[in-house]
Structure 1
Amino acid sequence: MTAGTTTDGRLLVPLYVHPAVDPAAWRAVAAAGPTRIAAVVLNLADGPGDTPDNVFAEAAEELRAAGLSLLGYADTDYGRRPHATVVAELLTYRQRHGIDGVYFDQVATHPGALAHYRRLATAARAAGCATVVFGHGDHPDPGYAEVGLADLLVTFEGDWQTYLASTLPLWTGRHAAARFCHLVYDVPAEQAQEAAALIAARRAGVGCTVPGSGDNPWSTLPFGLSAAQPQH
């Protein structure tokens, strides 16, 4: 998944449930394949975890075998986590799961942190990551959309009611829809189609809507993926 080539309407899936807890969810994501899913975010323990997990590794390998792009989750704590710590987690993901991209979460939005995130993006690409995602959760300073930083900016992450009330800054219109992703949780099933249509209308080329809420809404499957569907 690289800038300018992401197919509009595909899903970025934060798969934040262990495969031993919900193996059907992992099978459903694998079955959906790359025509439906732009990338899957792997997150074992708010990062790669302290020790290898064979069950997790085998499930991740099944996703890769299905042709899916895998992103390792790395929390940046809005620029407060040291560069070396974040990069070490990225390298651990590469070693254990062969990720081809990284999802930097809790990315700062102010221009003062641009240099820090430029270094992280550079380190990620040097480590072999073809895709770099910045999980701002809100619209950042326009400088974060400059060429050479992230391929994809998550400019909204929140619940459905907040999403309905949100607005777009004008600067987003200067970039392709493929540069933006909106992640929306706590979406009522009867409004799932409306949510998907609103993501497209707001020029986010990638998105994800789930019914989940609470501390980890991303433990639920995105709308449109059935846990009952067979694996390819």
Structure 2
Amino acid sequence: MTQEAPVKSLLVPFYEHPADRPEAWDAVVAAAPGLYGVVLNPANGPGAAPDPGFVAVAGRLRGAGVRVLGYTDTDYGRRPHHDVARDLRCHRDWYGADGAFLDQVSSGAAALAHYRRLAAEARTAGAATVALNHGVHPDPGYAEFADLLVTFEGPWDAYRAAGIPSWTAAHPPERFCHLVYAAPPGARAGAAVHCVVPGTGAHPWGTLPHELEPVR
């Protein structure tokens, strides 16, 4: 009997330093077979110089076959193109990132050309996977040049009331991701790619998904 490959459904944006939470990072690496990828965010981006702790953990993730998506803030289209491009190259050169996670992405049609150009820049920098975090359902045009659209980011209470526009049915489920925080144990997201964490407040992504929290 042929054993089925594990479903890689969990995208983990874990914004804690490996030196401060080594046991949590061990849990992330151990979960490699079920991970869609890990968002690497040393300093709201790659930082001013390579961080040895993140260099090491990125190497472990790559060695385990996990996508490493370098975090880059786009400030809803206000951040200059050359600054975003610099971050993309640093993630590649310093941490070996093979994907890009663009955060604070505009959702309207007016910004499509800007983000199409940024996605092309990410590909040039070696990103095999380009994820755009809109946090809401964007104009359908973004699906033309991104591999993954984060169409929800917010607390569990808001997620329970969120709807899904009909245009998403024209795309495979694995093209969409939901990031949910302030979630109780046992909470589950409806997107094929997802992350559901207990964290609250200004830094919810300093907590692991419930299923990856190390046993204490």
- TM superposition score normalised by structure 1: 0.88
The residue number in structure 2 matching 1:37 is: 35
The residue number in structure 2 matching 1:16 is: 15
Query: Aligned partners of 2:160, 2:15: CA distance in 1, in Å?
Result: 24
Report the alpha carbon displacement of residue 226 of structure 1 after superposing the two structures with TM. Answer: 3.5
Q: Which of 161, 164, 189 pairs up with 2:160?
A: 164
Point out where structure 1 has 5 or more consecutive residues left out of the alignment: 1-6
RMSD, matched Cα: 1.4
The residue number in structure 2 matching 1:3 is: none
Q: Which of 81, 98, 105 pairs up with 1:107?
A: 105
The residue number in structure 2 matching 1:176 is: 172
Q: Which of 39, 54, 77 pairs up with 1:56?
A: 54
Deviating 4+ runs (over 6 angstroms): none
Q: Which of 88, 95, 98 pairs up with 1:97?
A: 95
Q: Is the 8 A contact 2:7 2:34 kept in 1?
A: no
Report the alpha carbon displacement of residue 227 of structure 1 after superposing the two structures with TM. Answer: 2.0
Aligned with 1:224: secondary structure? helix
The residue number in structure 1 matching 2:199 is: 212
The residue number in structure 2 matching 1:223 is: 210
Query: Aligned partners of 1:155, 1:226: CA distance in 2, in Å?
Result: 25
Aligned with 2:25: secondary structure? helix
- TM superposition score normalised by structure 2: 0.94
Q: Which of 140, 143, 149 pairs up with 1:142?
A: 140
Report the alpha carbon displacement of residue 61 of structure 1 after superposing the two structures with TM. Answer: 1.2
Q: Is the 8 A contact 1:78 1:108 kept in 2?
A: yes
Identity value in percent: 55
* Structure of higher RCO (CA pairs closer than 8 Å, 6+ residues apart): 1
Q: Which of 65, 74, 77 pairs up with 1:76?
A: 74
Q: Which amino acid aligns with 1:41?
A: V
